[in-house]
Amino acid sequence: MRLIQHKREAYWFYRFLSLGYDRWINPLFWTPAMRTVALTPARLDDRALRVVDVGAGTGFTTEGIVEHVDAANVTMLDQSPHQLARSHRRPGLAACRRVEGDAEDLPFPDASFDRYVSAGSIEYWPDPARAIAEAHRVLRPGGIALVAGPLRPRHRVGRLLADTWMLFPEDEQYRAWFAAAGFVEVSAAYAAPEWHRGGPASYGIAIAGMREQAVFGRANGAGATGATGAGATGAGERGATPVAEHFDAPFTGREKLRFAGRFVAGSAAGAAFVPIAAALTARERLARRRRR
């Protein structure tokens, strides 16, 4: 069903959610400790790395990136101008470049970046395989892509709400998309907030893969900040499949009705996670206080 796994629905969802995202919503589901674990496979080991953060939103993950990389080398991309506007409240991101754009059709030439990071955005992509192929295309050979996202809940009620709301892929799906895009040396880390009972491997994954190193005569590899040869090829070449959705495409009366239905029901399913997470967080804190 996945009612908000559509660009227009996601755009309007964040039009409203951006107002309370940093204060009320994000801290329940995506914490600084989780971010540290999730960013590790991206190997942000050089301040000069050119990094793109796709679905950067208000910049919570970008703040983790600029702990390791100069902010001036970081590009934040998001389809929501409302989310990006909020990122200006984070002083550490002042030097980052902001770009409005679509994860499935990145507005960058091939081999533009050393690292691709995307956290918590895949849930909204109608065609994740295409977006991950785009990650491959915009990386130089030897560059690393990292996609962090949720895993399909194991609990029946959680699964029902998740499947109504947006995309919660299985572990194997993430791996299959990375393999299909042509990534090698694929590895993963797992993270969960304190309130989550089932362990990190049943909550969120951060999967990373490398764009194959240059092979002499086929692609011209470069150092961390170097240029890439025009011969670089990969499974994720631009235009391999057409982009199926555009958030700003004109829509008919019937489509407007469908949009409204999806938006209301999908947002309600998503909203249901908030009191559940808030109650479990309160319980966890109480239990910790008692243990002291």
Which residues of the chain form contacts with ligand SAM (CB under 6 A)?
Answer: 7, 10, 14, 26, 30, 55-58, 60-61, 78-80, 83, 102-104, 119-121, 124-125
Q: Residue 83 or 202: which CB sits closer to ligand SAM?
A: 83
Comparing every residue's Cβ against ligand SAM, the nearest one is 57
Q: Residue 193 or 221: which CB sits closer to ligand SAM?
A: 193
**Cβ of residue 193: shortest distance to ligand SAM, in angstroms?**
13
**Cβ of residue 158: shortest distance to ligand SAM, in angstroms?**
17
Query: Phi/psi at 140 (nearest 5 deg)?
Result: -75, 155
Q: Residue 229 or 259: which CB sits closer to ligand SAM?
A: 259
**Cβ of residue 72: shortest distance to ligand SAM, in angstroms?**
19
Q: Residue 180: which residues within 8 A CB-CB, separation 6 or more?
A: 129, 132, 133, 235
- 170: helix, coil or strand? coil
Spatial distance between the Cα atoms of 262 and 273, rounded to a whole number of angstroms: 17
DSSP letter string, 75-96:
EEEES-HHHHHHGGG-GGGTTS
**Cβ of residue 217: shortest distance to ligand SAM, in angstroms?**
35
Mapping DSSP onto H, E and C, the string for 231-260 reads CCCCCCCCCCCCCCCCCCCCCCHHHHHHHH
Residue 103 DSSP code: T
Q: Residue 60 or 178: which CB sits closer to ligand SAM?
A: 60
Number of other residues whose CB lies within 10 A of the CB of residue 197: 11
Q: Residue 63 or 212: which CB sits closer to ligand SAM?
A: 63
**Cβ of residue 88: shortest distance to ligand SAM, in angstroms?**
14
